[in-house]
């Protein structure tokens, strides 16, 4: 049996290895259009490669996927995070799980994962051909033909083809699949940070607040978690989650909107007011700057005092009702203007791609073209940061590699 894998990224390699292990006598070839293999694996997690997430509850796991949640719930019963961790451990790659659930190779180096994949393809005698872009896919009887981009390259036919080319930033990059009868969901960015060019909060770059609530005014979008202030605006898990779950809404808004930050992750203002009253009672003679509520970072607390037009030297006992109200408001309803986005590091993630309506998720086979399968971010599936996108790649690659 002749099997082609289109795409030399995470999903492509995983699918190729699964296919060869399931069909040892088959000839398996990976076609990669560029001169780089496993590029996203290399840069993931700041070069450490966040291979998956430590969450083993499928019910909780699927909540990390703005798109594909329903389909992945079934797929994770076949191959999930526990399977992924065992897969790497069985191949001599020890893993470590951090407090936030992210899983990395114990080496803290993405090259370990790349070496594992390259070693497996060599062991299994999987062929890799680089600089081989695909122009078109055609059904030829029960076989699938690949037309190559190079002028002097002739078409080749295969018994099975798995497409794992990764996310495309534009629909034009998916027209070759639309022409086969697949529905294409317009690709747009997901997993990005917020730019705030006109907000002075950027002078606090580097400050992280572990517990926040952030909502987008005029929408139902809200999220909680750690927030990081950057030199261009805001980032951190809470912002990245908002960008993923709100990808289409924020695209429609032209990436210009107001966010409301709750710096203390307490939505009931009366509770916050009571906390401030307790401070006034216990530390009335102390200066505002010397007694920070909720252990807020010092530079942030000074910034918020300035925003409330309150002197750092004012004593807590001198605040008065007006000062208390201003503080409660800035702690729970602090507003900032967003004007633009920035891709999260080098880890470009798309919302959109081949519609899940065009794919049988039990097998990952195309509903429009027999013996054609899909894996990875090429599909309209994406997750938040934390190893979830790689897990979707491993899961769909593993299932596609069954070639059922």
- Which CATH number is correct for 2-188+349-400, 1.10.3720.10, 3.50.50.60, 3.40.228.10, 3.40.50.620? 3.50.50.60
State pLDDT tens for residues 9-56: 999 999 999 999 999 999 999 999 999 999 999 999 889 999 999 999
DSSP helix/strand/coil, 298: helix
| pLDDT at 153 (0 to 100) | 82
Extract the tokens encoding 255. 């990436």
| pLDDT at 172 (0 to 100) | 94
| pLDDT at 151 (0 to 100) | 80
| pLDDT at 150 (0 to 100) | 85
pLDDT over 60 (residue 145):
yes
CA distance 375 to 364: 7
| pLDDT at 343 (0 to 100) | 79
pLDDT-derived band at 237, boundaries 50, 70, 90: very high
| pLDDT at 16 (0 to 100) | 98
DSSP helix/strand/coil, 195: strand
State pLDDT tens for residues 278-319: 999 999 999 999 999 999 999 999 999 999 999 999 999 999
| pLDDT at 152 (0 to 100) | 79
The distance from CA 390 to its chain's CA centroid, rounded to whole angstroms, is 9
Across the range 120-127, mean pLDDT stands at 98
| pLDDT at 197 (0 to 100) | 97
Beta strands in 114-266 (DSSP E): 127-130, 134-140, 143-148, 156-158, 160-163, 184-190, 192-195, 208-216, 222-229, 233-235, 256-262
Mean pLDDT of the chain: 96
Ramachandran angles phi, psi of 157, nearest 5°: -110, 150
Residue ranges per structural domain of the chain: 2-188+349-400, 192-343
pLDDT over 60 (residue 345):
no
Question: Radius of gyration (Cα) for the chain, nearest Å?
Answer: 25
Extract the tokens encoding 53. 């997430």
State pLDDT tens for residues 212-234: 999 999 999 999 999 999 999 99
| pLDDT at 347 (0 to 100) | 54
pLDDT over 80 (residue 344):
no
pLDDT over 60 (residue 379):
yes
Which pTM was predicted?
0.93
pLDDT over 80 (residue 154):
yes
- Running DSSP on this structure, what letter comes out for residue 174? G
């Amino acid at each position: 049996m002749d099997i082609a894998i289109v795409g030399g990224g995470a999903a492509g390699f995983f699918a190729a290895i699964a296919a060869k292990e399931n069909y040892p006598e088959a000839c398996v070839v990976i076609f990669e259009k560029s001169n780089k293999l496993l590029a996203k694996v290399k840069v993931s997690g700041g070069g450490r490669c966040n291979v998956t997430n430590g969450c083993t509850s499928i019910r909780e796991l699927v909540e990390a996927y703005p798109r594909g949640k329903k389909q992945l719930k079934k797929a994770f019963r076949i191959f999930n995070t526990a399977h992924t961790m065992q897969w790497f451990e069985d191949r001599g790659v020890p893993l470590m799980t951090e407090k936030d659930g992210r899983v990395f190779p114990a080496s803290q180096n993405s090259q370990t994962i790349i070496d594992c994949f390259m070693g497996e393809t060599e062991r299994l005698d999987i062929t890799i051909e680089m600089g081989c872009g695909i122009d078109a896919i055609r059904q030829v009887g029960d076989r699938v033909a690949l037309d190559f981009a190079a002028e002097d390259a002739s078409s080749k036919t295969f018994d099975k083809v798995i497409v794992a080319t990764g996310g495309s930033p534009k629909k034009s990059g998916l027209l070759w699949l639309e022409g086969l009868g697949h529905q294409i969901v317009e690709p747009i960015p997901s997993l990005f940070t917020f730019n705030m060019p006109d907000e002075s909060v950027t002078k606090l770059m580097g400050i992280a607040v572990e517990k926040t609530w952030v909502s987008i005014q005029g929408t139902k979008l809200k999220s909680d978690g750690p927030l990081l202030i950057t030199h261009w605006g805001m980032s951190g898990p809470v912002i990245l989650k908002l960008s993923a779950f709100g990808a289409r809404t924020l695209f429609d808004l032209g990436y210009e909107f107001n966010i409301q930050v709750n710096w203390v992750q307490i939505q009931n203002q009366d509770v916050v007011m009571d906390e401030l009253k307790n401070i006034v009672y216990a530390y009335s003679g102390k200066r505002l700057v010397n007694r920070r509520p909720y252990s807020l970072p010092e530079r942030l607390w000074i910034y918020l005092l300035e925003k409330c037009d309150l002197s750092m030297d004012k004593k807590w006992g001198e605040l008065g009702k007006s000062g208390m109200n201003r503080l409660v408001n800035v702690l729970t309803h602090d507003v900032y203007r967003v004007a633009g986005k920035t891709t999260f590091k080098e880890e470009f993630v798309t919302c959109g791609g081949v519609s899940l309506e065009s794919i049988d998720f039990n097998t990952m086979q195309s509903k429009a073209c027999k013996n054609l399968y899909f894996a990875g971010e090429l599909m309209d599936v994406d997750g938040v940061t934390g190893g979830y996108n790689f897990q979707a790649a491993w899961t769909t690659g593993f299932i596609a590699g069954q070639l059922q």
